[in-house]
């Protein structure tokens, strides 16, 4: 039974606390999102809907996010009337820092926050994906064993994702418009490597091997594309339904949470099962 694992998307949907507080409060009017999300380990409510804008009209982030994240990446770019900002997500709040004002001391602080955040996210993803994989195969979850076995790989993967986004910061300092040139690469890379974190568990693959095998599936297996399109389609339809409830706030937000949590669990379980099928089919073909 995988239902107890719903606690993971419930927990990540309630953090950052700032997002949940704004969603409970609601906003003026109705906001509708269309999110074509690819498989990631930590899906939750924020995969399908953006939290309402904070009072005062702060700008939204550009859609640059970590492949491991819940759709609201831990490191991104924000636009405001004062110029481009660097947004750092922590479990408690989102911090927007002006790029022009980031010195060595602030950069070290940001790195420490992201390091801690990556460690927490990696442990959670390892326990979640590892436990789902074991339960789907009829075995005990053994969360601690999953954290020890897969946590370091998820941690390295998360740091690589953060580093890739951080590499854009110098270009943003030159001109925020440069970020627009990078946006087409985000869905392409997301598609090519969406199986990577799942391969840590289902194939016990190392980081580089998981990237290589995911790329091989993406370029050689039609089923890989079919599943990605199915997943993106389900996410898009779900976002159209759930986002108005999130923007309405109050009880409507709680209803959205009630729907999104089991939906996120089912989609993640489906991704784990699908990647395992790819690995098993690959093994059969090699023996043939």
pTM recorded for the entire structure = 0.85
The C-alpha atoms of residue 74 and residue 275 are separated, in whole angstroms, by 25
Buried b (16+ CB within 10 A) or exposed e, 47-84: bbbbbbeeeeebbebbebbbbbbbbbbbbbbbeeeeeb
Residue pLDDT, tens place only, 170-223: 776 777 777 777 778 889 999 999 999 999 999 999 999 999 999 999 999 999
Is omega for the bond preceding 16 within 30 degrees of 0, making it cis? yes
208-260 pLDDT, tens digit each:
999 999 999 999 999 999 999 999 999 999 999 999 999 898 899 999 999 99
How much of the chain exceeds pLDDT 90, in percent? 56
The 10s digit of each residue's pLDDT in 141-169 is: 999 999 999 999 999 999 998 888 777 77
Rounded Cα distance between 96 and 80, Å, is 10
Cα 240 off chain centre by: 19
49 φψ region: left (φ > 0), alpha (ψ -120 to 50), beta (else):
beta
DSSP 14: S
Determine the Cα angle at 287 with ends 282 and 288, to 5°. Answer: 95
Beta-sheet strand order (sheet of 83-89) = 75-80, 83-89, 94-98
* Percent with pLDDT over 70 in the chain: 81
Give residue limits of the domains in the chain: 3-287
């Amino acid at each position: 039974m995988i239902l107890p694992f719903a606690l993971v998307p419930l927990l990540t949907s309630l953090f950052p606390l700032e997002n949940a507080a704004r969603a409970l409060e609601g906003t003026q009017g109705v906001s509708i999102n269309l999110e074509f999300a690819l498989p990631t380990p930590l899906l939750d409510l924020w995969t399908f809907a953006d939290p309402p804008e904070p009072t005062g009209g702060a700008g939204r982030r550009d859609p640059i996010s970590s492949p491991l994240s819940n759709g609201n990446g831990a490191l991104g770019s924000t636009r405001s009337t004062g110029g481009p900002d660097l947004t750092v997500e922590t479990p408690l709040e989102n911090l927007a820092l002006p790029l022009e004002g980031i010195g060595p001391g602030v950069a070290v602080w940001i790195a420490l926050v992201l390091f801690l955040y990556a460690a927490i996210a990696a442990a959670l993803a390892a326990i979640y994906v590892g436990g789902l994989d074991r339960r789907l195969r009829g075995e005990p979850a053994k969360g601690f064993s999953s954290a020890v076995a897969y946590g370091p790989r998820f941690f390295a993967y998360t740091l690589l994702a953060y580093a890739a986004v951080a590499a854009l910061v110098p270009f943003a300092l030159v001109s925020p418009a440069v970020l627009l040139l990078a946006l087409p690469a985000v869905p392409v890379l997301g598609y090519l490597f969406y199986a990577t974190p799942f391969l840590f568990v289902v194939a016990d693959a190392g980081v580089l091997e998981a990237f290589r095998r995911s790329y091989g599936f993406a370029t050689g297996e039609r089923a890989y594309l079919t599943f990605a399109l199915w997943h993106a389609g389900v996410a898009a339809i779900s976002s159209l339904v759930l986002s108005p409830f999130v923007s309405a706030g109050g009880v409507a937000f709680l209803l959205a949470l009630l729907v999104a949590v089991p939906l996120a669990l089912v989609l993640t379980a489906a991704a784990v099962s699908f990647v395992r099928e790819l690995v098993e089919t690959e093994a059969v073909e090699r023996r043939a």
